[in-house]
Structure 1
Amino acid sequence: MGAGLFSGVGTLLLPGLALLAQDWRLLQGLSALATGLLLLFWGYPALFPESPCWLLATGQLARARKILWHLSEASGVDPENGPEEESSLATELDILSAGSPQPQHHCILELRHTHVTWRNGLILGFSSLVGGGIRASFLRRLSPHEGVFYGPYFLVAALEMAATIFLLLTVDRWGRRLILLLGTLVVGLASLLLLAGAQYLPGWTVLSLSVLGLVASQAVSTLSSLFAAEIFPTVTRGAGLGLVLGAGFLGQAAAPLANMHGRRGFFLQHVVFASFAILALLCVLLLPESRGRGLPHSLQDADRLRRSPLLRGHPCQDHLPLLPPSHCRTQTQLV
């Protein structure tokens, strides 16, 4: 969510940077320089270390132990002589590292052997595709006249930040699935109303529906990514999240198709994505609720995230083990 806010701020600052640069080559060079600074995170692992959770889940115990010890020392905690829970973790890591286990890397294609996780990922990728693709339809209604640029540009950037703030205030209170369902419902209703009555509705109504649709579509895209990070297991979380984000960018890439064959292309694209929004609304009902549940570490843990009642008072508190079950069994055998 914080990264989304920074992205919105960068979008708002881009016209000012372009005004200062006065040349697109200089602007491109400044953007490349700012992006190149991110290479520092690769060159200095201490600034951005690898995830210990992922290292433990994939069996890279020595690297995980090194990072955990570094974090403990930086926090002023001695894991060897600390509290009982920390000492037991240190002992378990020492025992498991003694056998020099081989890392167990996983591929995203292993999801096809799961019963539930592949379906959850497919639904979230589809919702991200719809959220990214239907945005062009609302934007077209927002700026019907050619030559109007800066107003819609700043408005869209501000609406993206508004959608992120809305998610910050709601998803931890009412749950991910309910808010995703609400966002998909708003997208579908707004698109159908614009599709059926844009010629008969007053201008302020069309503008309001377009603004509401833009906020909802941005919320659906962002929440699909957050949801995917909590649905996919640790061993394949990065690849699964990348697929969901890629589906959203694929939907955005379909925006130029609206300009093909004049108004016919725009109408056809609007019809297709409005239909997709209704279908996504039904698919979201099949998702589990991840609020208040521990992150799944293995494919088996992710398959246990099954669909639960839509409205429930208190989320289920699942405290999944940090180490995979196979490691726990190995420790038992060693002891």
Structure 2
Amino acid sequence: MALATTIPFCFFFLYWWSIPESPRWLLATGKFYAAEEIIRKMAAKNGKPLPPDYMTTLQMKYNAAKKAQHQNNVNNSVEDENKTYGLVDLFKTPNLRKKTLIITFIWFTNTSVYVGLSYFAAVLGGDEYINFLLAGAVELPTYIVLYPVISRYGRRTNLCVSMLIGGLACLATALPIKGETFTLVLYCVGKMGISSSYVVLPLFASELYPTVVRGLGMSLSGVAGMLGPIFIPLVNYLGAEHIILPLILMGVLLVTGGLASLLLPETLNHHLPQTLEDGERFGKTIKQKPDLTRDENL
């Protein structure tokens, strides 16, 4: 079973070299000509030719932005093009550090509870196969309605509400109401909530990290999040004596993570941060609410 579920991933290595680099990242790191080549290929593939002066205008805006940022140091524009970024850059400045820690904590919470609830289906009582089927079926509605909802009301609100719904449903199992059906219903609501937040979080996180360290930030948060499934089986084992105890612990995690998401800025219809300076300013100087007056495809 382990081989059957892991060997197919080896095929990813057969085509990674054919995937183009992100033009946004290339522009942010000063690799303009490489970005131009990819942008023109994208335009041709989509059947939407670029205006004749598109790349010239883009380069002028880029050079103007670089000049404004580094007007006190003429050598920085050359240095930035060759600069490499590391995990340390995520923690150098206070606002970016705060966002990195919050995203990582929420990622840990989401991964832990999602895996924990998936494992917990078999010990709810009744038919374990039916329970596991329901645990997967309740995820489907979230995938259908989630995209239009986050496009209208933003990422942060949906992440927070999803985690709170899931967390409160898990905590509600402590109510003095007996019966396997009651616990199963609350479990399904909790699984629906965590499934929704598990979809929103990667999108939200990718829009919060600045382009030059976006891959590093996503990797850091993702790896830290996977520490949760190492410990979550021990939490589920507590259910051998008290069946609702794991649900209560996971509910506390979800509610805490949902409230922590309110400390992050909304990203809907805002320009993505490009540089570390943009990442530090993002959330300080922009509005915390989604800009509903602007086109989402900025």
Alignment TM class, shorter chain as reference: 0.7 to 0.9
1:88 aligns with 2:57: yes
Distance 2:224 2:293 in 1: 29
Distance 1:222 1:244 in 2: 15
Distance 1:63 1:312 in 2: 33
1:195 aligns with 2:174: yes
Q: Report what 1:68 is aligned to.
A: 39
Give yes or no for contact 1:293–1:315 (8 Å, CA) kept in 2: no
Q: Report what 1:103 is aligned to.
A: 82
Give the letter aligned to residue 171 of structure 1: I
Q: Report what 1:127 is aligned to.
A: 106
The 1:319/1:233 distance shift into structure 2, 3 A limit, reads farther
Give yes or no for contact 1:257–1:266 (8 Å, CA) kept in 2: no
Give yes or no for contact 1:225–1:244 (8 Å, CA) kept in 2: no
Shift of 1:173: 0.9
Distance 1:305 1:316 in 2: 18
Shift of 1:233: 0.4
Show the 5 A alignment for 1:13-162: 24=1, 28=3, 32=7, 34-43=8-17, 45=18, 48-74=19-45, 82-89=51-58, 102-135=81-114, 138-139=117-118, 142-144=121-123, 148-162=127-141
Shift of 1:231: 0.2
The 1:150/1:171 distance shift into structure 2, 3 A limit, reads same
The 1:315/1:274 distance shift into structure 2, 3 A limit, reads farther
CA RMSD of aligned residues (A): 3.7
Give the structure-2-normalised TM-score.
0.78
The 1:153/1:212 distance shift into structure 2, 3 A limit, reads same
Distance 1:140 1:73 in 2: 47
Show the 5 A alignment for 1:267-306: 269-306=246-283
Unaligned runs of 5+ in 1: 1-23, 321-335
Q: How much identity, in percent, do the aligned residues show?
A: 26
Give yes or no for contact 2:165–2:190 (8 Å, CA) kept in 1: yes
1:243 aligns with 2:220: yes
Give yes or no for contact 2:269–2:297 (8 Å, CA) kept in 1: no
The 1:86/1:65 distance shift into structure 2, 3 A limit, reads closer
**Aligned residues between the structures:** 285
Unaligned runs of 5+ in 2: 67-76
